[in-house]
């Protein structure tokens, strides 16, 4: 059986392993960008979806629904990525993001 030694790195959670090193260092900025981008895409997708409901012919309706899906699917993926970042940020200990110690002393 393999015994752990002193050179073994500490185990990381699954969410921490899925996030790249640059994203991990700038976790809150990446999270905010994903939520903002997802919200923007969601807004465009919903507008296109409502325009598709008002379309006159079935061909126009399908075209607008397809275009709406083109924005709604990445919006869902951006929100999922933002939630993954949020989960990783909450699992970190205070001060682990490079903001100094949790005690607040200068």
Is residue 78 within 8 Å of 44, Cβ to Cβ?
Answer: no
Query: DSSP code of 5?
Result: -
Evaluate if pTM is beyond 0.95: no
Tokens of 63: 């075209």
Domain spans in the chain, listed from the N-terminal domain onward: 42-91
pLDDT, tens only, 32-70 = 999 999 999 999 999 999 998 888 899 999 999 999 999
Is residue 22 within 8 Å of 33, Cβ to Cβ?
Answer: no
Classify each residue of 48-80 as buried b or exposed e, where b means 16 or more C-beta atoms within 10 Å of its C-beta: bbeebeeeeeeeeeeebbebbeebbeebeebbe
């Amino acid at each position: 059986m393999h015994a752990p030694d002193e050179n073994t790195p500490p185990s990381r959670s699954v969410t921490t392993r899925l996030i790249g090193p640059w994203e991990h260092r700038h976790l809150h900025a990446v999270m905010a960008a994903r939520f903002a981008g997802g919200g923007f895409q969601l807004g465009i997708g919903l507008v296109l979806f409502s325009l598709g409901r008002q379309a006159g012919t079935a061909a126009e309706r399908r075209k607008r629904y397809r275009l709406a899906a083109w924005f709604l699917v990445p919006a869902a993926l951006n929100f999922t990525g933002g939630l993954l970042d949020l989960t990783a940020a909450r699992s970190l200990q205070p001060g682990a993001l490079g903001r100094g110690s949790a005690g607040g002393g200068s």
